[in-house]
Amino acid sequence: ADHDTRFRSVITSYDYDAPLTEAGDPTEKLLAMRDVIKLFREVPSGPMPPATPKFAYGFVTLKKVGNINGVLDTISPLGPVTSKYPLMFEEMKQYYGFMLYRTTLPQDLSEPTPLISPLNGVHDRAYVSVNGVYQGLLERDTVLVVNVTGQQGDILDILVENMGRVNFGSKINDYKGLLSNLILGKDALTDWKIYPLDIDGAISSGWPHSNQKSVSSKQAALSAGPAVYMGTLQPNGLAWDTFLKLKEWTKGQVWINGVNLGRYWPARGPQQTLYVPGPLLSTSLPNNITLLELEAAPAHLRVIFMDRPQLNITAGKS
């Protein structure tokens, strides 16, 4: 991540106008560089290796597996650690990914009540739910207050996302999680259950495709907030490179056949597609797609596999 006036996460793609694309294909820049080098040194003879073939596999419709709070037994097999005050990722030995912080509302909140991170202590993004109903988010440096409602004793879940560590400059000691207390109204929240999440481990072991349970009608109706979705790309005899586009999805991560492709955030851009290397795909077996959507899924629940990337569409400021 970068940090100038504030924290700025880095996109998944490393295709920063490079001489080779993510797929390893030569570019005009590579040919121009070779022409310059030829003026001073010998270069290997023979033609430049061609670009690999790409394929547009088309649309796949996903289905909901469940909200994050409904699949904790699977993605947090070790269960929670209890603590009076929040613990950072590093204190939990959870260096990447996500942790879920859980407590209960200490009083009735019939009117929207501010949940505040007064010391900018959310590193880096927190998704807030009460009894599984999404309330909104807190974001490092930019969104320090979200309003919540509920009854005394309701479960307050805060899913915190590590969006990458600052890797240079004065902010290099970049701790993650809830670094300081959260204030609800006038009270500091205490008595936390903290769940380290091993989402990668669960998906690489075959979940959720290996353990398909029907999602409850109540959870299915909740389209907002962190949730897991799944689908399959049927084989067609080809295992060519392709590019996954998540039009109208909001923000999250994607896995193909248990391999984490990376993050998507099309509203921030500029990256709109994720590169899917052909060797990840099976030519004869269904290809498993797993998606963690953190904010809101589109009604159509479709993704599309394209034969070209879209990396430079600036839809909003980062």
**Domain end point (choices 178, 196, 214):** 196
The three state secondary structure string of 52-104 is CCECCCEEEECEEEEEHHHCHHHHCCCCCEEECCCCECHHHCCCCCEEEEEEE
Which regions in the chain score pLDDT beneath 50? 317-318
10 Cβ contact list (under 8 Å, min separation 6) = 1, 2, 164
* Mean pLDDT across the chain: 93
Asked if residue 317 and residue 202 are part of one domain, the reply reads yes
Alpha-carbon distance of 271 to 11, in angstroms, equals 7
What is the greatest pairwise CA distance in the chain? Answer: 77
pLDDT of residue 318: 44
The pairs formed by 164-168 with CB atoms below 8 angstroms and a separation of 24 or more are 164/1, 164/9, 164/10, 164/124, 165/1, 166/1, 166/2, 166/3, 166/7, 167/1
Asked if residue 179 and residue 102 are part of one domain, the reply reads yes
pLDDT of residue 216: 58
Asked if residue 157 and residue 113 are part of one domain, the reply reads yes
Alpha-carbon distance of 38 to 32, in angstroms, equals 10
Q: What's phi and psi for 31, nearest 5 deg?
A: -65, -40
Alpha-carbon distance of 297 to 247, in angstroms, equals 10
pLDDT of residue 255: 98
Q: How many helices (H) and strands (E) does the chain have?
A: 4, 23
Asked if residue 247 and residue 182 are part of one domain, the reply reads no
List the 242-245 sheet strands across, edge first. 58-61, 302-306, 242-245, 273-276
Give how many domains the chain has, as a whole number: 2
User: Could you tell me if 132 and 69 are in contact, meaning their C-beta atoms sit under 8 angstroms apart?
Assistant: yes
Asked if residue 287 and residue 183 are part of one domain, the reply reads no
Determine the structural domain holding residue 263 and report its residue range. Answer: 1-39+48-72+198-318
With 0-12 / 13-18 / 19 or more C-beta atoms within 10 angstroms meaning exposed / middle / buried, residue 39 is: exposed
Asked if residue 204 and residue 68 are part of one domain, the reply reads yes
CA 206 to chain centre: 19
Asked if residue 285 and residue 171 are part of one domain, the reply reads no
The three state secondary structure string of 187-205 is EECCCEEEEECCHHHHHHC
**Domain end point (choices 170, 196, 222):** 196
pTM: 0.93
Alpha-carbon distance of 240 to 283, in angstroms, equals 9
Classified as helix, coil or strand, 154 is coil
266 is written with which tokens? Answer: 């099309």
CATH number, residue 164? 2.60.120.260
pLDDT of residue 215: 60
What residues does 274 pair with on adjacent strands?
244
**Domain end point (choices 145, 169, 196):** 196
